[in-house]
Amino acid sequence: MSFSRRQFIQASGLAVCLGSISSSVRAESVNDKQLPIPPLLESRHGQPLFLTLQNVHWAFNGAQKAQVWGINGSTPGPTIRVRSGDDIKLIYSNRLSEAVSMTVSGLLVPGTQVGGAARLMSPGAYWSPVLPIRQKAATCWYHANTPFKMASHVYNGLVGMWIVEDEESRSLPLPKEYGVNDFPLIIQDKRIDNFGTPQYDKEAASDGFYGDTLLVNGREDPYIEVSRGWIRLRLVNASNARRYELTANDGRSLYLIASDQGLLTSPVELKSVPMAPGERREILVDMSEGGDVIITAGQSAGFMDRLRGIFEPSDLLRNANILTIKPTGLMSLVTDKAPQQLALDDTQITTSIQPRTIQLHNSPPGINNARWELSRIDLVGKQNGWERWLVTVPTPQSFHIEGARFKVINHNGQKPSPADFGWKDTVWIESQSELLVELKQPSYTHFPFLYYSQLLENADKGMVGQMEITPAE
């Protein structure tokens, strides 16, 4: 669609009208841009945690409310925080009009408790798994993984953060006061119409959905006010396909302290933090000195591109701001440094390493020449076994493995960048990557683990495999 002179005049007139909005309305809009902090749910004395999947009314722009999907009345849903060693009973309740399945990516539990096709909840149904938390501290996320509808169900709002703590993480001198100096940030891009309603066109998104509106915790271009000192940002890229490069607008360093599967051994100083779909990272930002800092995700669309977006769908982000951080109070006379030692990693390989070749392909969509089939097991491994996966993709995309953790050996034969250090379960693959995989939990024929393209439209087309992991003796 061409951008005609008539459309330009119409758009210019619209821009003038928008510019005439009263200052009181603009002030209200600014106030509504404060970062929403999802409620915190914690299990006390063995009490269950309730997650209700339902229609909610939400204002992505802080003004117009639209009906979307959510959890416990909000989108994204509440943040769940648990401790290693606990057994957590969840009670999912599906009050939506479609069947849905849910999972917690990054949580290392047996296949019987993961979710997926075998745990599909029809409208009005419940599912009550008991999750044994037996892993190190990590930032995970729970989300819909409904077979062949994963993309639309995640896009519609069935996402939330899941935090695992352990004694080691609680003892470290890291920011840990939720919503005060420890912030959950769930990042998604959506396409919002003039009525504030997200639009999703599955056919137009055959190569992955890219919206024009960047949302953090369901709000566009939000801000937070913080006391001077270090703050911790827990990041989840819950976008269907878009990868981000996070930077500070003033060029200050961001300190990576954790990847998908938990804390690194020591902080990594970065100027840019990549975030692939499904990835989680934790970063520290030093707000001891200086003024406001904006964390951005790249370049915003230019003026003409934004005008075009009035008349036709756009893949360009009209605003690439993730978060504006506003420090308050006096500068400290003593500036603390980031801790130099984080988690200990004493992992040892005690078995032989099984090599595997995993090839994703587009025509037809699938893995190793097979489209996702719910009744077929594609791979069999053994709990606590070690494997070396050589994963090849036809186009750059994110890749995820359930029930396991891995370290990146190389990307296209080259040593991974520091941003890919640590234990992971999700990784961005440009062409070919080699992974050292540890199979942590058992799964079964009727309750298999999945490995799949985290570009969710690809997963829905069939780029998913199923694996059965036999229990350790």
Spell out the residues 6+ positions from residue 302 whose beta carbon is closer than 8 angstroms to its own.
none
Measured between alpha carbons, how far is 438 from 6 in angstroms, rounded to an integer? Answer: 60
Neighbouring CB atoms inside 10 A of 366's CB total: 21
For residue 464, the cross-strand partners are 452
Place of tokens 């640590």: 422
Identity of the residue numbered 280: R
- For CATH 2.60.40.420, list the domain ranges present in the chain: 40-171, 182-328, 353-470
pLDDT of residue 173: 94
Tell me the pLDDT of the chain (473 aa) as tens digits. Answer: 444 444 443 444 434 343 433 333 333 344 479 999 999 999 888 899 999 999 999 999 878 899 999 999 999 999 999 999 999 999 999 999 999 999 999 999 999 999 988 999 999 999 999 999 999 999 999 999 999 999 999 999 999 999 999 999 999 999 999 999 999 999 999 999 989 999 998 888 878 999 999 999 999 999 999 999 999 999 999 999 999 999 999 999 999 999 999 999 999 999 999 999 999 999 999 999 889 999 999 865 454 455 455 545 568 999 999 999 999 987 665 557 788 899 989 888 888 899 999 999 998 999 999 999 999 999 999 999 999 999 999 999 999 999 999 999 999 999 999 999 999 999 999 999 999 999 999 999 999 999 999 999 999 999 999 999 999 97
Spell out the residues 6+ positions from residue 308 whose beta carbon is closer than 8 angstroms to its own.
3, 314
CATH of domain 182-328: 2.60.40.420
Measured between alpha carbons, how far is 80 from 278 in angstroms, rounded to an integer? Answer: 17
Fold assignment, 40-171:
Immunoglobulin-like (2.60.40)
CB distance 256 to 281 below 8 Å = yes
Measured between alpha carbons, how far is 360 from 452 in angstroms, rounded to an integer? Answer: 9
CB distance 385 to 420 below 8 Å = no
Domain 353-470 has CATH 3.40.50.1820: no
| Closest by Cα among 26, 3, 60 to 194 | 60
pLDDT of residue 206: 79
Measured between alpha carbons, how far is 153 from 379 in angstroms, rounded to an integer? Answer: 27
DSSP state of 330: P
Place of tokens 């002030």: 27
Phi, psi angle pair for 141, to nearest 5°: -150, 145
Neighbouring CB atoms inside 10 A of 332's CB total: 12
pLDDT of residue 312: 53
Name the token pair of 433. 């990557």
pLDDT of residue 313: 59
| Closest by Cα among 285, 184, 284 to 238 | 184
pLDDT of residue 146: 98
Neighbouring CB atoms inside 10 A of 209's CB total: 25
Identity of the residue numbered 9: I
